[in-house]
Amino acid sequence: MTDTALATLPQRKLPMRALLMLLMCLAFQLAAWVLIAIAVLQLAFAAFSEAPNARLQGLGRSVGRYLGQIAAFVSFSTETPPFPFSDWPSPNA
Cα 50 to Cα 63: distance, rounded to the nearest angstrom: 23
| Beta carbons within 8 Å of 91's beta carbon, 6+ residues apart | 57, 58, 59, 61, 62, 65
pLDDT digits (tens, 9 = 90+) for 26-85: 999 999 999 999 999 999 988 888 888 889 999 999 999 999 999 999 999 988 889 888
> What is the pTM assigned to this prediction?
0.80
Are 64 and 34 spatial neighbours (Cβ–Cβ below 8 Å)?
no
